[in-house]
Each structure stands twice: as C-alpha cells, then as structure tokens.
Amino acid sequence: MAIFLALVHHPVLNKRGEVVATALTNVDVHDISRSARSYGIDRLYVVTPVTLQQRMVAEIVGHWTVGEGARLNPLRAEAMCRVTAASSLEAACSAIAEQCGQPPLVVVTSAQMPDADATWQGLRKQLRQDDRPVLIVFGTGWGLAPDVLAAADLRLAAIVRDPGFGPEDDGYNHLSVRSATAIALDRLLGSH
C-alpha cells in the first residue's frame, strides 16, 4: 500500500476562522520529511497555490538532495527527496492517481474534529487490509478549511490526551503540525 502525506498551506483557517494561505515554514518541511522517511511514507506534498512558496520548497529540497546539504547530511537528503510542492490538494491527488493507477483515499485530521467518522485503530486496520493508496492530510495555521474536511473520504478523530491522565480537560489542543504528524504516523504505522 502506498501512503502519502499532504501538508496544506491553503485552504486553511486563521485564528479568526477566515480561509487563508499560510507561510511556508522550513522546519515543518524538514521535520515532517524525516518523520515520513522513518515511517515509510511514499511522498510528502507541500500544498500551496503561492508560486514563490512552491519555488522555496524546490530550493529547500534541492539544497538537501543535490546541493551542499546532500554531501554534508546524506540522511537528510534521503528524507527530503520524498518532498514536492503541489499547487492544490486536487493536484496532489491527481499525481497519486497517476502514480498508483487509482485515486487515493483522502483522510483528514484536525485538532477540532466534531464530525469524526474514523478512529485511529480503525484506519490502522484498514491500512493493513486495503491496497488503495492513502493520502493523509494535515493543515497549517488553525486547521484545514471546512470544505476540505467535508470533501475527505474519512475524518479522523482529533489527537487528544487520554482523560484518565492529569487534571480535567481544559480544551487546550494546539499541537504543532510537526508534532501532530509524528503522533499520527506512530499511531497508524508504529510498532506497538
């Protein structure tokens, strides 16, 4: 089974709930590519319609895969060679369909997921049994736009703390996308 990730910079929400394009963060690309490589992900799509940001992704990847960075840190090169920019989520899905011969199952998650229709355990089981490619989508900013959540094939429950640990839940749930991706990959593909 082929598993892909999308790090979406548009359409996402800002803190006022408006749909925006967020800025590319170099450390997100580095850290998520390393997590992706560690868990056997086929490709990380950095989704942004901003042409300058698409060029920045190409420059970052180029530095670490064919530039000076590749010589200095071959392990980083191995992770970064799986990263590419996509102008939209649809473009990423089209690239996956072309590579795999069928469209991917699109799975989203968010810190605020009121309409979750999939569990982590359920998706983990499905990944072992199904041969359809899967695209797991993560949003930057304050999360994926409602249209992206609604259009997905599956909506995973939010990553939250077990209520059996610590004080009462105060509703705080604002992980960095790097952390959320690493946790999600471990829940789905890690050895437990």
Give the total residue count for the chain: 192
pLDDT score recorded for residue 111: 85
Tens of pLDDT, residues 103-119:
999 999 988 877 889 99
Residue 7 — φ and ψ, nearest 5°? -105, 105
- Looking at the DSSP bridge assignments, the partners of residue 6 are 45, 137
In 11-126, DSSP assigns E strands to 12-13, 19-20, 43-47, 83-86, 105-108
Its domain, for residue 11, covers 3-189
CATH number of the domain bearing residue 97: 3.40.1280.10
pLDDT-derived band at 167 (thresholds 50, 70, 90) equals: low
Residue 170, pLDDT above cutoff 90: no
pTM (predicted TM-score): 0.94
| Total domains in the fold of the chain | 1
pLDDT score recorded for residue 81: 94
